[in-house]
Copies of this chain bind each other. A is one copy, B any other.
Amino acid sequence: MNNTSVKISIQTQDFNLQDEVDLLEQDNAVDGAVVTFTGRVRNKNEGLTVSGLYLEHYSGMTEKSLAKIIAQAQQRWQIGRVSVIHRIGQLAIGDQIVFVGVTSMHRQDAFAAAEFIMDYLKVQAPFWKKELTEQGEKWLDAKQSDNKQAQQWNN
């Protein structure tokens, strides 16, 4: 990885945070700041008890969409390496779903870019969640609040 490398991985297997952050910082003694976001499967959603999650995606478009979001973040902030991992397939409560990691010389830039990438991933990257609840399988509805959150970056 060079100092502006990007890693995008769509995978069924789990990931290890320390390994991912080590990769972001390997031979990268320039960037002293690393911000990560990790999303996990919750046991409740909209009042229903959830027992698991199935994640579908649009292979090809997912990678292209994430690459575009990361490129926008690189234009807005002075950041180093970026890593985005998103799991697909069957997941259980507490399982890690998504990882975003950003390095920078400046912690403000790392924080902003990581949040920006998550906000746009939520509304642009073609993933869909189907929850297994006490009332059976249910595709999740997109949240209006996620659209608002992403739009805030345009102000």
Which residues from chain A sit less than 8 Å from chain B, CB to CB? 16-19, 21, 25, 29-44, 93-94, 105, 107-108, 110-111, 114-115, 118, 149
User: What's the Cα separation between A19 and B32 when bound, in Å?
Assistant: 21
Query: Would you list the 9 A-B pairs with minimal beta carbon distance, nearest first?
Result: A29-B43, A32-B42, A17-B18, A17-B17, A34-B38, A36-B36, A111-B115, A18-B18, A16-B18
A111 with B108: in contact, given A30-B42, A39-B32, A43-B30 (CB under 8 Å)?
no
Q: Please name all residues of chain B whose beta carbon is closer than 8 Å to the beta carbon of A44 when the two chains form the complex.
A: 29-30
Q: Please name all residues of chain B whose beta carbon is closer than 8 Å to the beta carbon of A39 when the two chains form the complex.
A: 32-34, 107
A34 with B29: in contact, given A17-B17, A149-B108 (CB under 8 Å)?
no
User: What's the Cα separation between A39 and B36 when bound, in Å?
Assistant: 12
Q: Which of B29, B94, B114 contacts A111 (CB 8 A)?
A: B114
Q: Which of B29, B34, B105 contacts A37 (CB 8 A)?
A: B34
